[in-house]
Structure 1
C-alpha cells in the first residue's frame, strides 16, 4: 500500500533578470544537515586540516541555486580545470552551488560501473583539492540520488522524440564510441535535464557549445509545467568564457579519450614529460626563424599561466626564445601553479573523500525527495513512503 500525501503545488516564482540572465529559485527549505557527534575525519567543525573538513552550510534563501557536473571517465586534466572547475570554484562566492560526479552519465560510454569506482574517488579528490569547498557547496555522487532516474523517466514521457533528435552532440558522441551507440547516449540530454530540475537549479554555468542542451531542458520544464503544474523554474544559462583548451597534439580538444592531456595533480616529472611532448609552431623549423605565436599551442597556454604572456609572444616573433625553452618555462610554471593542488590532494584519504561525498549526497537527496513529492503529486502518482 502507498501512503498518498496531498501537498499544494508550489508555483514557480517570477524573478528579476540580471546582467547574467538566471532565475532565482523559489524559496524552499534548505538541505537538512546530517550527522551527529563527530569522530576522527568528521566533516563538522571549522578545522582547516582536511582530516576534519567543515560541513556544508546552506546558503541564504534568495541566492541563486546553480548546478553542474563532471563525468568520472579518467584523470582530471588541464582542460577540466580551465574549462569548468576553475569557474566552479569562483562561483562558490556568489551562488548556492550543487556540483556532482556524473557516474550515471559515464555509463553511456563505459557500461561497467565497477571500472569507475577508483575514478569517482580520484575526481572527487581532485575537485576538492583545486578548491571545491564542501562547506560552501553540495558535492555529491549522481547515483546516490536515485530520484534523478525517476525524474528522467517522467520527463521522457513529456518530451517529443524530435526535440532530442535535434540536439547536435549525439552524432559527435556516437562517432567517438561507435561500438556502444545506445539509447542512454541518445537520451543523454533528458538525464541532464533531470540533474538540473531535481534540485530546481535556476542557473547552469555553460559555454556556448552547451546552449542547445540547456534550451532543451528549458523546453522540457515548460512542457511539464503546462501539462501538469508549475513545479520547475526554467533554468537559465550563466554564460562563461569557457576556453577551448587544445591537447598536447595541438589539434583536438584536450580529452582523456584522445590521450592528449596534461594532468593537474600529476607528479612534476609527469607534467614535464607531458608539456615537453607538446606540438609547437610547425612553420618554425629552426630556432633562428621568427615564430608565429598565434599558431603555436604552447604560446596559447602562456595566456593562462603568464600575466606578461605578450612579452613571451614578442620574444617568439623575434626568434629570441626557442620552442624548447618555451616548453620548459611553461612546464615549470604549471608545476608551481599546481603545487597547492598536489599538496591538498595528498592529504585527502579515501575515508575522508567518501565521507564528504556521502554527506553531500544526503544533502542533495533531501532536496530531490522534496522535488519528487511535488512532481508525483502533479502527475497524479501515489507518493512513496519516506525512506
Structure 2
C-alpha cells in the first residue's frame, strides 16, 4: 500500500488544519508507505507573492514535522523539487477532456461569477493533482468530501491513458480511509462556517502559534448557547456552536462524542470551556516549542525536504519514463 497526499503551503496554520488533515497524516505514516508533499506548484494557480510563498513552504514543512510527521517514516518533499510532476501533468493534459474539467465543482466555486478571469492553471489543476498521485503508482489517496470528485477524475485519466495507449501503466488509486477520522473544525464565532484563515475575525480561529493565554481567551469568548450539554449527541442538532466545541474536545482527546457528553452532560459552558482550553493548550504547547526549534534551523529543514525530494525523484522516474515511451516521446 502506497499513500500519496499533498497540502498547499499556506500561511496561518490553525487548529482546523491540524485536526482536519495534519494529525490524520501523522497516523497514516504508521499504517502505510506514505509520500507527503508541499503542493507549491498548485499555489501558483492564483496570484502569489514569491517571498511569501518561500516563507510559507518553510513554515508548512516545520509545522508538519512539529506535528509528528517523521521524515524517517514518511517521504516529505517540495512538489516543485520533483520536475516529473509537471512533466507528467502535461502528458496527461492530452488525455484529460475539457468536459471532465468543466464538471469540477471546485473550479465553479473558486472561479465564481467571473471564471474567464481565472488562470488556466486553476482550470487544469485537477490534472496536476492526477499526475501527483499517478506518478508514484499510489494505491490509495486520503480524500475529504470536497476532493472525491478529483480522485474520480484521476482514475478516469489513468483508465483512459491505459486504454488509449494499450498499456497497464497507471494503477487506479482508491480512497484511503485509514488514519482515523478527520475532525471538521468550525469557526469559534460561527458554528456553521469552517475555521479559516480568511475570516476577518482573529477570534474565529486558534493558530498553532497562539500563546497559551491567547488560546484560553479565544475559547472563553467562543460563541455558545445558554443550554447545558446534553447526554444524547442527537440533542446537539440545531446547536452548531456547541457541537463544534464538543467535536474539538473529542478530536483532541481521542474520545467519541458520546464519551465527552457522558462526562459533561448537564454542565454548562462555564465548566466545559476551561476543560477544552486545557486540552487545546496541552496539544499545542509542545508543538509550538518544536516549531520554534525548527524555525531556528532552516538549513535542517532544507536538508529534510531535499532528502525527501531525492527519494521521490527516484520513485517517480520509472513511471515518467514509461509514460514518455507510451506516447512516443522516447
State the TM-score, normalizing by the size of structure 1.
Answer: 0.74
Q: Structure 1 pair 68/87, CA: closer, same or farther in 2 (3 Å)?
A: same
Q: Structure 1 pair 363/338, CA: closer, same or farther in 2 (3 Å)?
A: same
Q: Is the 8 A contact 1:302 1:330 kept in 2?
A: yes
User: What is aligned with 2:41?
Assistant: 104
Is residue 143 of structure 1 aligned with residue 89 of structure 2? no
User: What is aligned with 2:266?
Assistant: 315
Counterparts of 1:125 and 1:180, CA distance in 2: 34
Shift of 1:224: 0.8
Counterparts of 1:179 and 1:114, CA distance in 2: 27
Is residue 343 of structure 1 aligned with residue 300 of structure 2? no
Q: Secondary structure at the match of 2:16?
A: helix
Q: Secondary structure at the match of 2:176?
A: strand
Q: How does 1:158-237 map to 2 (within 5 A)?
A: 158-175=95-112, 181-228=118-165, 229-237=167-175
Structure 1, 307-316 or 187-196: larger mean CA deviation: 307-316
Q: Structure 1 pair 268/155, CA: closer, same or farther in 2 (3 Å)?
A: same
Shift of 1:361: 1.2
Aligned to 2:56, which of 116, 119, 141? Answer: 119
User: What is aligned with 1:305?
Assistant: 252
Q: Structure 1 pair 360/372, CA: closer, same or farther in 2 (3 Å)?
A: same
The size of the alignment, in residue pairs, is 308
- Deviations 1:278-312 (Å, cap 9, x if unpaired)? 2212xx2xxxx545772113233222235451145
Q: Greater helix percent: which structure?
A: 2
Q: How does 1:1-387 map to 2 (within 5 A)?
A: 64-175=1-112, 181-228=118-165, 229-239=167-177, 241-249=181-189, 250-258=191-199, 260-281=204-225, 284=226, 290=228, 294=236, 295=239, 296=242, 297-306=244-253, 307=255, 308-316=259-267, 321=268, 323-348=269-294, 349-382=297-330
Q: Is the 8 A contact 1:126 1:265 kept in 2?
A: no
Could you list the runs of 5+ residues in structure 1 that have no partner in the other structure? 1-63, 383-387
Counterparts of 2:114 and 2:311, CA distance in 1: 34
Q: Structure 1 pair 179/269, CA: closer, same or farther in 2 (3 Å)?
A: farther
Counterparts of 1:175 and 1:242, CA distance in 2: 28
What is the root-mean-square deviation in Å for CA atoms of aligned residues?
Answer: 2.3
Counterparts of 1:235 and 1:362, CA distance in 2: 23
Shift of 1:180: 6.0
- Deviations 1:139-178 (Å, cap 9, x if unpaired)? 0001111111111111111111111111211122224998
Q: Secondary structure at the match of 1:99?
A: strand
Shift of 1:330: 1.4
Q: Secondary structure at the match of 2:142?
A: strand
Name which one, 1 or 2, has greater alpha-carbon Rg: 1
Q: Is the 8 A contact 2:15 2:206 kept in 1?
A: yes
Q: Secondary structure at the match of 2:278?
A: helix
Shift of 1:179: 10
Shift of 1:326: 2.8
- Deviations 1:34-93 (Å, cap 9, x if unpaired)? xxxxxxxxxxxxxxxxxxxxxxxxxxxxxx111011111122221212111111111111
Q: Structure 1 pair 343/83, CA: closer, same or farther in 2 (3 Å)?
A: same
Q: Is the 8 A contact 1:78 1:262 kept in 2?
A: yes
Shift of 1:215: 0.6
Q: Structure 1 pair 359/184, CA: closer, same or farther in 2 (3 Å)?
A: same
Could you list the runs of 5+ residues in structure 2 that have no partner in the other structure? none
Q: Is the 8 A contact 1:71 1:102 kept in 2?
A: yes
